[in-house]
Structure 1
Amino acid sequence: MNSKATSPFWVPIYAFLATILIGGMLLKLDICHPGKELSFLDAIFTATSAVCVTGLAVVDTGTFFSRTGQSVILFLIQLGGLGIMTYASLVIYLLGKKVSASDRIAVSQTLIHDPSFNIGKFIVGVVTAVLSIEALGALLLNRMDPDGFYPFSAVFHSISAFCNAGFSLYSDSLTTWKNHLGINTVFMALIIMGGLGFYVMTELWHKFMNFVRRRKGEISAHTLSWHTRIVLETSLFLIVVGGLAIFFAESFKVHVVEGAVVNEIAALFQSVTCRTAGFNTVDISGLTNISLLVMIGLMLIGGSPGSCAGGLKTTTFRTWVGFIISKVKGHSQVKVGWYALTEESVNRALTLLTIASVILGSAIIMLSITEGSHLPHSEVRGHFIEITFEAISAFATVGLSTGVTPDLSGPGKSIIIALMFVGRLGPVWLLTAINSWQKEPRYRLPEDDLPLG
Structure 2
Amino acid sequence: MNSKASSPFWMPVYAFLAAIVVGGLLLKLDVCHPGRDLSFIDAFFTATSAVCVTGLAVVDTGTFFSHAGQLVILALIQLGGLGIMTYASLVIYLLGKKVSASDRIAVSQTLIHDPSFNIGHFIVGVVVAVLSIEGIGAILLNRLDPVGFDFYSAVFHSISAFCNAGFSLYSDSLTAWRDNPGVNAVFMALIIMGGLGFYVMTELWQKLCDLIRSRKSKVSAHAISWHTRIVLETSLFLIIAGGVVIYFIENLKARAVSSEGVGTLAALFQSVTCRTAGFNSMDISSMTNISLLIMIGLMLIGGSPGSCAGGLKTTTFRTWLGFIISKIKGHSQVKVGWYALSEESVNRALTLLTIASVILGSAIIALSISEGNYLPHTRARGHFIELTFEAVSAFATVGLSTGVTPTLSGAGKMIIIMLMFVGRLGPVWLLTAINSWQSEPRYRLPEDDLPLG
- Scaled to the shorter chain, the TM-score interval is over 0.9
**Residues 41 and 350 of structure 1: is their aligned pair in 2 closer, same or farther, counting only changes over 3 Å?**
same
Which amino acid counterpart does residue 220 of structure 2 have in structure 1? Answer: I
1:28 aligns to what? 28
User: Is residue 19–residue 51 contact of structure 2 (8 Å, CA) maintained in 1?
Assistant: yes
Q: Which residue of 2 aligns with 1:321?
A: 321
Aligned residue in 1 for 2:11: 11
Gaps of 5+ in 1: none
What's the C-alpha RMSD, in Å, of the aligned pairs? 1.2
How does 1:82-231 map onto structure 2 within 5 Å?
82-214=82-214, 217-219=218-220, 223-231=223-231
What is the deviation of 1:376?
Answer: 3.3
> How many Å separate the matches in 2 of 1:262 and 1:164?
24
CA distance in 1, matches of 2:308, 2:56: 16
Whole-angstrom distance in 2 between the partners of 1:53 and 1:68: 19
Give a deviation string over 1:264-284, Cα, whole Å, max 9, x none. Answer: 000000000011000000100
Which AA in structure 1 matches 2:218?
Answer: G
Q: Does 1:234 align with 2:234?
A: yes
Secondary structure of the residue aligned to 2:241 is helix
**CA–CA distance in structure 1, aligned partners of residues 100 and 57 of structure 2:** 37
Identity value in percent: 81
Residue in structure 2 matched with residue 345 of structure 1 by the alignment: 345
C-alpha displacement of 1:219: 3.1
- Aligned residue number for residue 361 of structure 1: 361
Alpha-carbon distance between aligned partners in 1 of 2:320 and 2:116, rounded to the nearest angstrom = 27
**For the Cα contact (< 8 Å) 2:368–2:374, is it kept in 1?**
no
Kindly report which structure 2 residues correspond to 1:61-100, keeping only aligned pairs within 5 A, or say none. Answer: 61-100=61-100
> Retained in 1: the 8 A contact 2:89–2:99?
yes
The separation in 2 between residues aligned to 1:2 and 1:65, in whole angstroms, is: 40
Distance 1:205 1:176 in 2: 33
Mapped to 2, the partners of 1:302 and 1:205 lie a distance apart of 23
Query: Is residue 382 of structure 2 the alignment partner of residue 370 of structure 1?
Result: no
**Displacement of 1:377:** 2.3
CA distance in 1, matches of 2:88, 2:123: 10
Mapped partners of 2:304, 2:250: distance in 1 = 28
TM-score after normalising by structure 2: 0.98
User: What is the SS of the residue equivalent to 2:266?
Assistant: helix
Q: In the alignment, is the contact (CA less than 8 A) between 1:261 and 1:282 conserved in 2?
A: no
Task: Name stretches of at least 5 consecutive residues in structure 2 with no aligned partner.
Answer: none
Q: Is the 8 A contact 2:373 2:383 kept in 1?
A: no
Q: Does 1:51 align with 2:34?
A: no
Contact 2:226 2:337 in 1 (8 A): yes
Distance 2:444 2:152 in 1: 61
For residues 141-188 of structure 1, give each alpha carbon's deviation from its aligned partner in whole angstroms, at most 9, with x where no partner exists: 000000100111000000000000000000000000000000000000
Amino acid at match of 2:131: L
Q: Within 5 A, what are the aligned runs for 1:293-304?
A: 293-304=293-304
Alignment check: 8 A CA contact 2:9 2:106 kept: yes
Q: Offset of 1:378 from its aligned partner? A: 2.3
Aligned-pair CA distance for 1:375:
3.5
2:239 aligned counterpart, secondary structure: helix
Alpha-carbon deviation of 1:217? 3.5
State the Cα distance separating 1:223 from its structure 2 match. 0.7
Change (3 A) 1:216 1:371: farther
Any idea what the Cα deviations from partners look like across 1:36-77, whole Å, max 9, x if unmatched?
Answer: 000000000000000000000000000000000000000000
Question: After superposition, where does 1:264-413 map in structure 2 within 5 Å?
Answer: 264-373=264-373, 375-413=375-413
Counterpart residue type for residue 426 of structure 1: G
> Residues 60 and 257 of structure 1: is their aligned pair in 2 closer, same or farther, counting only changes over 3 Å?
farther
Distance between the aligned counterparts of 2:90 and 2:217, measured in 1? 32
Letter in 1 for 2:187: F
Listed one character per residue, the Cα deviations across residues 411-452 of structure 1 (whole Å, up to 9, x for unaligned) are 000000000000000000000000000000000000011100
CA distance in 1, matches of 2:368, 2:316: 28
User: What is the distance in 2 between the residues matched to 1:170 and 1:319?
Assistant: 38
Identify the residue that residue 416 of structure 2 maps to in structure 1: 416
Structure 2 CA distance for aligned equivalents of residues 45 and 115 of structure 1: 33
Partner secondary structure for residue 380 of structure 1: coil
Partner of 1:262: 262
Q: Deviations over 1:221-253 (max 9, x none)?
A: x61000000000000000000000100011111
Q: Which amino acid aligns with 1:181?
A: P
Number of equivalent positions = 451
Is the CA contact 1:210–1:216 (under 8 Å) kept in the aligned structure 2? Answer: no
- Cα distance in 2 for partners of 1:288, 1:381 equals 14
* Cα distance in 1 between the residues matched to 2:137 and 2:258: 32
